Structure formats: C-alpha cells, structure tokens
Structure 1
Amino acid sequence: MMMSFRLLFLAATASSVLSGTPDNVSSRLMVHVPHHLFKEGGYDHREALFGRPPYGGSISQSVYYTEDDLCDPSKAVLHTHPHDVNEKGETVLKSPFILMVNRGNCAFVQKVRNAQRNGAAGVVIADNVCLCSDQECMAHQESQASSGGVAPAPCETAEPVMADDGSGSDVSIPSFLMFKHDADKVKDELAKNRPVRLEMQWSLPHPDSRVEYDLFSSPTDPVAHHFLNEFKPIAKALGHHAYFTPHMYVFDGVRSQCHGMNGENQCFNLCSNNGRYCAMDPDKNLDSGVSGFDVVKESLRRHCIWSNYGEDDGVGEKWWDYVSEFDKRCGNMDYFNNPDCVNDVYHHSHVDGDLIERCMQNSGGLEKDATNSFLESELKAQTDLGVVIMPTAFVNKVAIRGAMSVANVFQAVCAGFAAGSRPHICTMCSHCGDPAACVHHGHCTAHMGGGFMHESLPKGSVSTHSFYGWMLFIVGCFSVAAAWHYKKSRDDMRQQVRTILADYMPLNDSDQMGGSPGGGMQMPAFGGNAQMAVSSMMGMGSSQQSQAPPSAPQYNPGSLL
C-alpha cells in the first residue's frame, strides 16, 4: 500500500511538471554542406540533458550516419555512410567526426556513450517518429505511405526528452535530437555517400556585464551538497560581477492532487499547508525519521535566509555560510529536523534566527490551509524555466547541460559575460581543471589541470610554470656541480704543492746541516729550481719571479771541505 502510494505520487508529480515544460534551447544546429540543406537560423532540435557542451564554442565536423543502433558496447560501428575503408577493407571513421544514429532500442545515454567510445566528437540522434504537431512531417509520411501502399506510422503527441538515465556522468561529448523530417534529409544525402558537414554551436545570452545564474536544489540532495560546498568560494570571488539566486525545489501539491477537493492533505506527512507544497521523504520511511514536511520547512527557511541576506547583493555570503554549516552539523538524518541543531547553525553562520522564523510565518507559514508567498514563487520559477531534473543550474535563464560540477557551471557563468566584461577570476580560472583550487591559490597550476573538457594542455606539453621551474632546477644543478669542481681542483692543487715541498725541503735542510751524516759526497742544492716550480704551480708569473730580489748566498759548511 505504501509503495503504491509513492508511485502514484511520483507519477502525478512528474506528469504535472513535464506537461508544462517549455523549450529553452540555447544551441544551434547548422548544415553547411551541402548548400541546399543550409537553413538560416539552423534546424530545430533538442539538447541532451547529459554530456558537457563547450559553452561559447562549437563543433563543426563531417558527419557519418550509422545503421547500427549503438546499443551493444562490445560492437564497433560498422555500417556507415559515407563508407570509408582502409587497405584491409575494414570500416574506418576518420576523426574527428559527428555521428548520426537512429533513435530506438535503448536509452539515449547508452547510444551516446557507445558513440563516444568509437571516437565521435558529437552525436545527432535522428528521430524516427513524427510529432503529431509537425504538419510537414506528417504530410511527407502520408505521401510515402500512400506510394508504398501501407498505412502511415503513428505519431507521438509529446516531444522526446533526451534525459539522463542516471548513468550519464561518464559521457563527455554533447548530443542533439534532430526531428524526423529534417533528419531524413541528412540521412538521404549521406546514404548517397555525399559529404555532409554539421555545426553544433552553444551560446549564452549576453544581456550586460553582470551574469545571472540560478540553482534549483533540495536540502537533502547529496549532489547539490557537494556542489554547494565546492562552489562557495567561487560564488564569493565572483562578487558583484554575478547575481546568484538559489531556488528550493518543492512539488506542487495542488496539481499532484495532494490537496484534496475538501482541503484535506491527501499525501500524509509529505506536504505542508494541507497538501499544497510537498517533497519526497528523504529516508524512505513515512512513519518515522525525516519527512517531506521537514524538507519543505527547511526549504522555506533557506528561502527566507536568502531573502534577508542575499537578495540585495546577489552574493549572500551568510546564506552560503548557513548552508555549509547546516550540511556539517545537521546534514545527518538524526539531526535534520532538530531545532537545537538549527539554532546552532544560526549561531555559527551569524544568522538572526528570530528574524528568519518571523519571515517564515509572515510568508504564510506551513500549518494553515493557505498559500505561502515564498513557496508559490518557487513553484512559478520552476514552471517558467521548465525544471525537470534536480539539481539544475541556469545561466542567464538558459539551462546548463551535463554534470552538476563546479567546473561545468563556472565555465558556463564565465561564458555568459558580455564581450570585454569578463572578471579577472574568469580569465584566470575558467579553463582550469580545478577552478576552486585556482580561486584559492590565485592561479592555475599544472597539477590542477591546464584546461577544461577539450581545452586541456596538448598531450606531451608542459605548463609555463613547470617549464621555468625545471629550467631553474637544471641551472641550479649545474651551478652546484661547477662550484664543487672548482673547490676540488683547488684542493688537488694545494695537495700537489704540499707534496713538492715535502720532497724538496728536507734536502735543503740536510745540506745546511753539513751534508750527509757519513761525510760523503755533497748533494747539490735545489733551492732556485724548486722555488720556481712551486711558484709556477701556485700561479705566480715569470715576471713576478724575476722581480723578486735575489736571495743572499747561504752558508754551506760542506763547501769548505
């Protein structure tokens, strides 16, 4: 009974959200070759909610169309148009390229992942079903069916959503969905082995020199927790160059039929205000622990903190401090709804708890069968921006695709600035693999990763800091070696001098004492030659030697004999 209730609640909520999802496409899909397929403004398409688009950039490459469904990761792409082969007759895909593949048989994520493994730089999914609202596609399909004597294929009433199935974090290439009528034209051209060149382009609106970015999250979302903790120093460093707005995601209980016709709460403890505002149970236990009502309450509290401490400047340092302290002290389910823990967080984040509690009550509270102005504004923001997946970030009202990572969101924020208005932090850190560390240290070092996504350092190259560091190290090693060699040479020379003196000086001493003890033959004196030899080894020039005064004749008793 409990499980069926949860499924009913999820189904009702999902249908209410998806039915009102607007189209917020921030990209462009162009066909440049052949010229007769060129369309001013590009082709209508839908972006995938996974992958990592290069915001502010584009991918322009030749296209291969494969008849394989790309559902089996163990199989390589074989049947392609144009069909390029090597000298062995094996299918060759000349990188870089964009791969077009038909929709169907497996999830979008699986198709794009397998295309990535085969070396694709981007993927275009060709839709194989007409939208019922696409009159041109329907007319073309009916014409083909009548000429072939078969009934036309059924159409679909809702646009397909290229959603992440939960496993798309390893997909880094971008992908689009191209509608059937347009995709058929491209496939026909490729089937004739004619070249087709597509451009996938991403851009963000540049309204002024101040970027606006929004984040939809929930107090119990672990992905949002990690992101908020890492993005906190970046948000503070962006300062007044950007305006941040946090949104707390709650479900519309009225549209989900949790607010009954008689005003009663039909969804137990998942909702506040008699079923008007709801959240899923974070610990999956409706009978105890943290309830959906507790999540709604914490969401309203954070909205009030932002309203009082962040709405004016768009930075909200105390809001970031509160979220960080709450995650550290009350993030555990045992303390999530503990009033003492919340008061402790107020204290450590320097937030006026009484002010926030009054704000929560003045906005409409959570207990009465009445609307809450702040929670109503959150529901409206979700509808206006078409929020489907949590957490979701927007820059200048455009959804950021791909993983909710610090690098991905930060690069999108920096790409949203008007030309010439990018702050220094973006110039310094937007293409760094670890922008949070770059902001902390004040520069992007080699170990942080020299780039982001496809803009990393070329393979085999080194950063400027590394190059000069190694150069200084090598120069230092040579300097030490030269100093050691010089010292060793001096020591060797001195040792040689001592050896010569030890050889000659005893002979002179014995001569001066009267010759050999046995009164034998007189030994000649070496004084002059030995002195010249020693002087030469000590580095004294011949001119110095000649200028020295002549030594007085020494008395030698042996010469009288």
Structure 2
Amino acid sequence: MSSKRTTAWSTAPRRPSARPTTARRRCLARSRAKVLGQLLYSESKGKAHCEHGDYSMPSSPTRPPLPAESDGSPRQDTAKVLLVRRGLCTFVTKVRIAQEKGAQAVVVVDRETSSNTPEDIQKVVMADDGWGDSVQIPSILVSKSEGQLLIDAAKHATVMVELDWNIPRGQVVNMDFWMSSGDRLATKFLEKFKPYAVALSEHLQFAPRYDIFKPDEGMLGESNSELCVSADSESFCAPDPDGGGPVTGEDVVNEDVRQLCLWNVTARRGGNTGALFSEPYWRYVVSFNRRCSVRAQDADHRFGEVCSLSVMREVGIDAQSVQDCVQRNRVPILREQLKNVAWSRLALQLNGWRYSGPLDPQTVLQAVCGGYTTPPDECSTLQKGLPPGGVFTDPPPGASLFTLLIGLLLLAGFVVAAFFFYKRHLTSSVRKVLREEVMLEVQTQMADYVVMDEDGQHRPSNLRVLSF
C-alpha cells in the first residue's frame, strides 16, 4: 500500500551488524504511517515463533536519549519491534502471537534456508489466512541477509528502528481493483465510488481486474461443471454468486469478459495526464448492478447476456463492438486475469501498493488523494462532500451525525406518541367492557324480578325489561 523505509541505528559504537537496511513493507493491518521503536529478538525453541510458549518477550533495557527529529523536536515514545523467523505457520499467526505478547510492530525474517534476495522479497505478499482482522499492528518481511544483520545487532546492542511508509506519489494515481462481477460487496463499492471516479476522470488510472481461477484437480465434476467456461482446451472459472440459483460461475466469467472488453473499447487517454479513463464503463457497471439481479426470474432483468446487452444500449454503448471484442479476445483476456492474481479475491492496490483499509468509498478516496504529488482541485472538493458542480449524480455514501441524531429524535417521538395513543385506546376499551358487563348484570337481575300480592302470592309483573 505504500513505500516503506526501515532504518536501524545502534546506541552502541557503530558496527557492521547495525547498518541501515531498506526493505519493502508488507503489512497485515491498517496502521500508522511511522513506527519508532527498539528492535528486540528472542530465540525460538523450535517452533519458529509460532506458539506462545516458543519464546519469551525480551524486556526493553534502559537506553540513552534518541537522536532528535530533523526539526530539532524530541523523538516520541518508542515501541517494541520484535524480530521473528518465517516458517511453520502463517504470517498472521506469527504477528498475532507477537501482538498478544506486547509487540507494537513485527519484522519477519525470511527462512534460514531461503535463497530469496532482497529484490525477490519485494515481490512477496504477506498473505492473510482469513484471521487478519485480529491483527492491529504493522509487520514487514525482510530477506534472510538483511534480517540476520538486524538479529545480530539486536543481540549485542540496543538498536532503534524507524518504520516509515507512504503511498508512492505521482501526477496520476493508479488504482487496480480485483473483484468479481457477481460479488455484491464489490458492485456496491463501485456504485458508491462512481461519483468520485467520474470527478477525478483522467487523474485516476482505474484498472478493473477480475477474479478468474483455474479449476483444481477433480473439480470439474458434474456438481461443479457450471462454474467454468471451456475455451481452447482450457477452463476458466469464477465463484457462483447465488449458490443453487439460476446464475452460475460460467455466467460470471462471461460477464467479467464483457466488462473488460467494454473497458478496452470505451477507455480514452486523457490529454493532460495520459491516463486511461472510461465514463461509459462506470455508467454501465452501476446500471447493470441495479437492473440485472441474480435473483430475477426473467432474462430481461437477470444477471446474464440478455440483460447486459440491454443495459449497454440504454447507456449509449455500442454493444456490437463489445461483442466483437469478446469473440476475438476472450481467451487472451482470461489468461491475463489468471496471471494478475491478487492476495485476495476482493483487493485494492494504489500506485502498486496494497491497500489494507476498509472498502469504504470515502476512505478509499482519502487514500487516492494522498497518492498525488500535487492533489487535483477535485480532491479538495470531493473531500468536502460534493463533486464538481455541487450535485451528486448518485446519493453520497453514509449519513452525517446530525442526520442520525435527528432520526433518533424522530423515532423517539414516534414511540412516545404511539404509546400515548395505545394507552388511550386501552383505557377506552376497558371502560366499554366494564360498562357492558354492568348493564348485562342489571338486565339479568331485572329479568328475575317478580311482583307479589299482599297475601304473598306471585302475580305477573308488568315491568318491562330495560334495554341499555
């Protein structure tokens, strides 16, 4: 997600094992832009720092004051930066255990048997094993040679390190987004991010990438045959978006290809920046996601080719040119997607660096605007809440705190009013029931009343039973 500088210096006399190192940052959690701390190392007991009992957290000895900042101000409080060895378990497990032991940052050193050079490590992604949300501290991976220098230094002296990273900056921000056309979370993000992308236009080089995968051995059985498309003796698969519903992984693969062809056919290069931009692509994906549902029963509104071509015509796209592209380039496009695989099926990369924050349009916008050497005027306008012209073509995501409070007050007023009217209704109903019961009792007593003569004999009563 960013460029990173790792600097190490020792408070003991300078020695070769404490020389500065530089490595590319691979972070498992969204974190601060700078970490300053003491480098600590504890030998593993054989489990490669994969278990709580495999090592103990070293204590931080008293150290002399650190060098001041470049502007003369004192350094901030330091963190514990723990060195661990790679191997036997996932990166997430190592970093999580270190976090639970009190580390504020982790430097993972490549395996002792590894032949990876520092340049090779630059290409390694510290993948999430599915439990990355539990990690709240930054981590980096360094080569065996670089890591050994840090380990030796930490063993013999008090070594302070500074981890510093920022998104690489440029006149144009490159935004690569891995997704599936059938993924609801991805399509919702695209819909809400559209106003920002259209406003930034040629300042944002957006590159759609799609989650296409090869079937595993034995996967192409009868139950999984609808996940894949076969072409040129190859199979290309995509996730099924609705389980046992009418839309299949094959439909998703075909829609992915259509969207990539649509991008290639409609993208135009900006005159000032040279970045490719396609407003028709954004119009299409938003309209397609709104109209073509995986739950629809009729083909005109169901996820698939019929609905796709209809949407293209509605938004003014030459559907024939898109279909011609699909016919000519289907296999090369799918092969290209297989080569450009991300660390996750839903992933975002800015200027070549992994974005690890939430997939929230406003948060992503802030990260994008932070990637410009000189942010365009649109960034300032968008971050204030309105695109150029002052009107959103789509509803802005989220609601303000004031709106939320007003909504809560209105809801509370409605509940109080409902309770008041319910109480009145209940009181009225009880009174009515009691009145009817009293009248019924009176009628019953009057019906039993008999007039007697002076000699005690009964005689018919001329009293009429009253009705109430």
Give the TM interval when normalised to the shorter protein.
0.5 to 0.7
Contact 1:62–1:98, Cα closer than 8 Å, also in 2: yes
In the aligned structure 1, how far is the partner of 2:184 from the partner of 2:10? 45
Normalised by the length of structure 1, the TM-score is 0.53
Q: Which residue pairs with 1:271 in the alignment?
A: 229
1:212 corresponds to which residue? 174
Indicate yes or no: 2:108 matched with 1:125. yes
> Quick check: which one's helix share is greater?
1
Q: 2:352 is matched with which residue: 397, 413, 417? A: 397
1:294 aligns with 2:251: yes
State the Cα distance separating 1:374 from its structure 2 match. 5.7
**Preserved CA contact (<8 Å) 1:303 1:374:** no
Distance in 2 of aligned mates of 1:200 and 1:429: 31
CA shift, 1:296, in A, is 1.6
Deviation at 1:95, TM superposition (A): 5.1
Which of 138, 150, 153 pairs up with 1:189? Answer: 153
Higher fraction of strand: 2
How many Å separate the matches in 1 of 2:97 and 2:103?
A: 9
Deviation at 1:121, TM superposition (A): 3.8
Q: Quote the offset at 1:405 in angstroms.
A: 4.3
In structure 1, the partner of 2:290 is: 328
The one-letter code sitting in structure 2 at the alignment partner of 1:202 is W
Partner residue in 1 for 2:418? none
The within-5 A match list for 1:105-504 is: 106-116=89-99, 120-132=103-115, 161-192=125-156, 194-207=157-170, 209-251=171-213, 270-276=228-234, 278-283=236-241, 289-312=246-269, 314-334=276-296, 336-342=302-308, 345-346=311-312, 350-352=315-317, 355-356=318-319, 358-365=320-327, 372-373=328-329, 376-377=332-333, 379-380=335-336, 383=339, 387-401=342-356, 403-406=358-361, 409-418=364-373, 421-427=374-380, 447=401
The answer as to 2:38 corresponding to 1:62 is: yes
Question: Match for 1:293: what amino acid?
Answer: E
Q: Judging changes above 3 Å, is the alpha-carbon distance between structure 1 residues 133 and 338 closer, same or farther for their aligned structure 2 residues?
A: closer
Deviations 1:519-555 (A, max 9, x none): xxxxxxxxxxxxxxxxxxxxxxxxxxxxxxxxxxxxx
CA distance in structure 2 between the aligned counterparts of 1:340 and 1:58, rounded to whole angstroms = 51
Distance 2:145 2:132 in 1: 28
The CA deviation string for residues 187-244 of structure 1, in whole angstroms up to 9 with x for no partner, is 233233x22122223244444x222322222112344234323322221232332222
The 3-state SS of whatever aligns with 2:375 is coil
Task: Provide, for residues 245-304 of structure 1, a one-character-per-residue CA deviation record: whole Å limited to 9, x for no partner.
Answer: 222343468x99999xxxxxx97760142444612341586x973333211210122123
User: What is the CA deviation profile of residues 397-441 of structure 1, one whole-angstrom value per residue up to 9, with x for unaligned ones?
Assistant: 3443455444554343223212xx2124545776x9x999x9979
Once residues 305 and 282 of structure 1 are traced to their aligned partners in structure 2, the CA distance between those partners, rounded to angstroms, is 22
Q: Conserved in 2, the CA contact under 8 Å of 1:204 and 1:395?
A: yes
State yes or no: 1:79 paired with 2:57.
yes
Distance 2:112 2:60 in 1: 24
For the 8 Å contact 2:110–2:144, the answer to whether it is kept is: yes
From 20, 32, 42, the counterpart of 2:9? 32
Residue number among 92, 97, 112 corresponding to 2:80 in the alignment: 97
CA RMSD of aligned residues (A): 4.6
**Letter of the aligned partner of 1:100 in structure 2?**
L
Is the CA contact 1:66–1:78 (under 8 Å) kept in the aligned structure 2? yes
Q: Provide Cα deviations, 1:319-375, integer angstroms capped at 9, x if missing partner.
A: 223222332332425565445543554466x243xx22x23432252xxxxxx4265
Deviation at 1:123, TM superposition (A): 1.7
SS at match of 1:323: helix
Report the Cα distance in structure 1 between the residues aligned to 2:364 and 2:217, rounded to whole angstroms: 31
- Rg larger for: 1
Q: C-alpha offsets along residues 4-54 of structure 1, whole Å, 9 cap, x if unaligned?
A: xxxxxxxxxxxxxxxxxxxx98433332336434656x3445614x31255
C-alpha contact 1:26 1:202 (8 A) present in aligned 2:
yes
Gaps of 5+ in 2: 63-76, 271-275, 403-468
Shift of the alpha carbon at 1:80?
0.8
Q: Using the TM superposition, give the Cα deviation of residue 172 of structure 1 relative to its aligned residue in structure 2, in angstroms.
A: 4.0
Q: Which residue does 1:501 correspond to in 2?
A: none
Q: Is the 8 A contact 1:227 1:406 kept in 2?
A: yes
Q: Secondary structure at the match of 2:79?
A: coil
2-structure distance, mates of 1:126, 1:405: 33
Q: What is the distance in 1 between the residues matched to 2:195 and 2:336?
A: 29
- CA separation in 2, counterparts of 1:210 and 1:198? 32
Question: Compared with structure 1, are the counterparts of its residues 361 and 215 closer, same or farther at alpha carbon in structure 2 (3 Å cutoff)?
Answer: same
Q: Percent identity?
A: 25
**Residues 71 and 105, structure 1, Cα contact 8 Å, conserved in 2:** yes
Q: Give secondary structure in 1 for the equivalent of 2:114.
A: coil
Shift of 1:160: 6.6
Cα distance in 1, alignment partners of residues 55 and 386 from structure 2: 37
For residues 332 and 364 of structure 1, the distance between their equivalents in structure 2, rounded to whole angstroms, comes to 22
What SS is found at the alignment partner of 1:228?
Answer: helix
Conservation of the 8 A alpha-carbon contact between 1:116 and 1:171: yes
- Please state how far the C-alpha of 1:164 moved relative to its aligned partner: 0.4
| Counterpart for residue 428 of structure 2 | none
1:420-466 deviation per Cα after TM superposition (whole angstroms, max 9, x unaligned) = x2124545776x9x999x99799x99959xxxxxxxxxxxxxxxxxx
- Is contact 2:173-2:368 (8 Å) kept? yes
Structure-2 change in CA distance of 1:243 and 1:183 (3 Å) = closer
Count of residue pairs the alignment pairs up: 364
Deviation of 1:119 (Å): 5.5
What letter corresponds to residue 250 of structure 2 in structure 1?
F
Query: Contact 2:268 / 2:278 at 8 angstroms: preserved in 1?
Result: yes
Preserved contact between residue 126 and residue 177 of structure 1 (Cα < 8 Å): yes
> TM-score by structure 2 length?
0.62
Q: Aligned partners of 2:5, 2:137: CA distance in 1, in Å? A: 16
- In structure 2, give the amino acid aligned to 1:279: C
1:292 maps to amino acid: G
Alpha-carbon spacing, 1:58–1:291, altered in 2? closer, same or farther (3 Å): same
